[in-house]
Structures are given as structure tokens and as C-alpha cells.
């Protein structure tokens, strides 16, 4: 079975994770896909297939006789999708021999445009897979799952010699907790790769340092007709907080290694208001400086408006794994070589986000990230190509061969 055929089977199973949930997994629907994958893994001949009670799915492909002493490597992808644009049935649409121009997405009123996504020109002639424009497609990260299982199938069918291989599919990556309950010992690999990137050939091991920051503002509400020097309008103080941040240091104004403050949501009235941010930076020094900027805003506004008017809560999320991967650069060198052997241009890029591999690297499983061939994740413009998926499978197949030859 081709990787894209698997993808089409998986994306129709809705698996949005829920950031407000206190359960693991955060949404029961993730088990729906996990049970399908569990069955498929067993049919592909994987051993030690185990779906645990928290929706982590593990399996192994024992080494070819004579290759048991080779380094054990693993491949990981996540089963959940973002919750945004995932509240209806998902209808994948296949466009063969895509012309590289603007593409109308079903009857949604949305257009996948070359103005917004200039890389579309480079996909001319390929078979493009999108949603109908009303939902996400779910290639993030069901494409990674499809490619890993297609890898296993090809190894079996083509009788390719290999060392010990481990695979795992995780829940709740999109809400930042996908690695929280990952059992590294059960997984059993010495090194691993997540397949959770974009363009085929991407190799990523430098990710953001990340935290959430919440400002709670307490106002003082009195009648506006007699409020001089008395009222504290919480919503106006909240606006003041955002104005104190650097205006261009947002996702729209930054790229590559540049960090940002991202206002995710806001609510409020005169009596109370709240601002929710995520804060990102590749540099540990700059990341700490960003958090200190937030703390200084809290301090200054409490001095201006009164103690306890503003309360800042910072929640750490993940760290840059570059320091871990620096100690085992063969992971990157072999990934580059695998791309070249597969006739794919290697693209070593910083991750402007995070993956399960970030946290797993700090749990003792060095785990850089590879591209899957997809683009424009986390929204209704998400798209991927059949050819990109095939190339991604070729890359990880060459990786398996390289580690078998080492």
C-alpha cells in the first residue's frame, strides 16, 4: 500500500486533542485511530505491539538475523490533530497533475493561493491532497504515521536487512504533552526520529525554548459617572500590557531563529481581564530575557495601578534539544546522507515550534525531526503531495539501511 493511501484512511478518523482536558489522552477519539493502527501493526508482522491505557502505541521489528548488534533506531509520529477547524467530518480531496496555480477548496469559499503559499509553484505536476477547505486535512501528523507503516511494509516485502527497529505513535502532541507519558524503556530504541516536519528532506534538531504566559488583570469597577481617580479598567490595563511588548516580535514579524511573543487569546471587561501568550526563542539567553520582560511588565503595572492588579503565571513547556543532539551528530549526518541517497535535497532548518522529540531528547532518547512532505499545517489550507510522501518514505528507508551498515 502506498503511503498516501494509508493517509486517506487515517485522516477521516477525527482525533483533535483538547487543551482544556485533564485526562490522558485528552480526547477519547484518539483511541479510535490507535485501535486501527494497532490492528495494522500486527498484520504487518510487528512484535510486542502494545496500546496502553493512555493511548501510547508501541511496536518492534526484530533485527534481521546477524544484525542484532546494530544500533536500535526508532520512528515516532503523533495521532492527534489540532482542535481548530476539526469540528466536522474531514473530506480529503485529490487533485491529480496539479497545475501550480490557485486552487479552490470545495465549496468552502477558501482558495489555496500562490500569493499566500508561494511554494505551490514548485508542486506543479504532482498529485496534491487537501481537505475541502472546511476542516484541517490531518496530515499533521497522520502523514508521519502512514510513512512509518509504509516503511515497515517495504522492509518486509523487499527483505531489506536491518537492525532492531522500534515505532511508536503518541497522543496529545499538539497540546504539548505527547511525550509526558512516553515509556522510553518500553520503546527500546537507542536513537529515534520523529516524522512531524513539513517539506520532504527537512532535518530539524534546533527547536524553540517554549513557555505559556498568562496575565490576569483585576480591575476596580465603579459607576463611570463618579469614577475619577478611582476606576481601574481591567481591559484597558490588558491593552497596556500588550502595548508594552515589542510590536514586531510576533509570529508574523519573525523568521528562522528569531523568537516571539504570540497573543493566543484575550477576554475581559472592566472588572477582570486575561491575556494568554506563548513565548518562543531558540536562544536560551534570549528566552530568559523574554520571560524577564514579562515579569518587568507585571512589576511596573502593579507599581502604577496598585499591588495585585496584574498577576503573571509562566508555565514552562519544552526546551531546545540542540544541546542533546550535538552529542550524537551521526543522527544528522546520516539523515543528510539518507536524503542524498534518496535523491532528496537535505534541508537543515530550525524548528519554529516543537515536537515530541524535543522532550524525548531530554528523557534520554535523542530524537531529531524529519519532514513528511506536507505544508500549511494547523488550518484549512493544509496540503501534502503523493510524491512528497513517497520521497519521505525513501529517506527513512535509506536511514534504516545506513544504520544496518554501520
- Distance, in Å, from the CA atom of 346 to the CA atom of 339, rounded to the nearest integer, reads 6
- Distance, in Å, from the CA atom of 396 to the CA atom of 148, rounded to the nearest integer, reads 8
In sequence order, which residues have a C-beta less than 8 Å from that of residue 70 and are 6 or more positions away? 63, 162, 163, 164, 403, 404, 406
In sequence order, which residues have a C-beta less than 8 Å from that of residue 393 and are 6 or more positions away? 3, 147, 150, 151, 154
Task: Tell the residue number behind the cell numbers 533506531, with chain if given.
Answer: 73
In sequence order, which residues have a C-beta less than 8 Å from that of residue 308 and are 6 or more positions away? 218, 302
Give me the residues paired with residue 213 across strands: 277, 314
Do 86 and 14 contact (CB within 8 A), yes or no?
yes
Q: Cβ of 184: how many Cβ atoms within 10 Å? A: 16
Candidates 80, 153, 249, 394; catalytic one:
80
Q: If we measure between CA atoms, which residue out of 331, 310, 288, 133 comes closest to residue 238?
A: 310
Candidates 147, 173, 198, 398; catalytic one:
173
Q: Is 387 a catalytic residue?
A: no
Q: Is 48 a catalytic residue?
A: no
Q: If we measure between CA atoms, which residue out of 310, 212, 309, 317 comes closest to residue 261?
A: 212
Q: If we measure between CA atoms, which residue out of 376, 373, 394 comes closest to residue 384?
A: 373
CA angle, residues 244, 248, 254, in degrees to nearest 5 = 135
CA dihedral 3, 5, 7, 8 (to 10 degrees): 170
The catalytic residues are 80, 173
Amino acid at each position: 500500500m502506498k503511503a498516501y493511501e494509508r493517509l486517506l484512511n487515517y485522516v477521516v478518523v477525527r482525533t483533535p486533542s483538547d487543551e482544556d482536558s485533564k485526562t490522558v489522552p485528552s480526547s477519547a477519539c484518539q483511541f479510535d485511530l490507535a485501535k486501527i493502527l494497532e490492528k495494522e501493526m500486527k498484520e504487518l508482522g510487528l512484535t510486542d505491539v502494545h496500546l496502553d491505557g493512555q493511548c501510547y502505541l508501541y511496536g518492534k521489528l526484530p533485527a534481521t538475523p546477524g544484525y542484532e548488534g546494530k544500533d536500535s533506531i526508532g520512528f515516532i509520529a503523533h495521532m492527534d490533530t489540532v482542535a481548530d477547524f476539526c469540528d466536522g467530518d474531514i473530506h480529503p480531496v485529490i487533485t491529480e497533475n496539479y497545475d501550480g496555480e490557485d486552487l479552490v477548496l470545495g465549496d468552502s469559499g477558501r482558495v489555496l493561493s500562490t500569493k499566500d503559499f508561494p511554494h505551490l509553484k514548485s508542486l506543479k505536476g504532482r498529485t496534491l491532497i487537501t481537505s475541502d477547505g472546511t476542516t484541517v486535512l490531518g496530515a499533521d501528523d497522520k502523514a508521519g504515521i502512514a510513512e512509518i507503516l509504509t516503511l515497515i511494509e517495504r522492509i518486509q516485502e523487499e527483505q531489506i536487512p536491518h537492525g532492531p527497529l522500534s515505532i511508536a505513535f503518541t497522543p496529545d502532541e499538539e497540546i504539548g504533552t505527547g511525550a509526558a507519558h512516553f515509556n522510553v524503556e518500553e520503546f527500546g530504541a537507542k536513537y529515534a526520529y520523529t516524522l512531524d516536519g513539513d517539506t520532504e528532506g527537512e532535518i530539524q534538531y534546533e527547536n524553540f525554548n517554549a513557555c505559556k504566559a498568562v496575565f490576569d488583570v483585576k480591575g476596580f469597577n465603579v459607576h463611570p459617572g463618579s469614577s475619577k481617580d478611582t476606576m481601574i479598567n481591567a481591559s484597558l490595563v490588558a491593552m497596556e500590557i500588550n502595548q508594552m511588548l515589542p510590536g514586531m516580535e510576533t509570529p508574523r514579524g519573525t523568521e528562522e531563529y528569531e523568537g516571539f511573543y504570540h497573543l493566543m487569546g484575550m477576554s475581559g471587561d472592566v472588572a477582570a481581564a486575561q491575556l494568554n501568550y506563548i513565548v518562543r526563542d531558540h536562544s536560551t539567553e534570549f528566552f530568559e530575557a523574554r520571560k524577564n520582560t514579562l515579569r518587568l511588565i507585571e512589576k511596573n503595572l502593579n507599581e502604577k495601578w496598585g499591588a495585585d492588579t496584574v498577576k503573571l503565571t509562566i508555565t514552562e513547556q519544552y526546551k531546545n534539544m540542540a544541546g542533546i543532539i550535538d552529542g550524537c551528530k551521526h543522527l544528522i549526518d546520516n539523515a543528510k546522507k539518507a536524503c542524498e541517497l534518496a535523491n532528496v535535497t537535505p534541508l537543515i532548518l530550525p524548528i519554529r515550534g516543537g515536537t515530541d522529540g524535543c522532550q524525548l531528547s531530554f528523557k534520554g532518547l535523542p530524537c531529531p525531526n524529519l519532514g513528511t512532505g506536507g505544508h500549511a499545517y494547523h488550518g484549512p489550507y493544509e496540503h501534502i503531495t503523493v510524491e512528497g510522501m513517497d520521497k519521505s518514505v525513501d529517506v527513512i528507508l535509506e536511514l534504516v539501511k545506513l544504520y544496518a551498515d554501520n
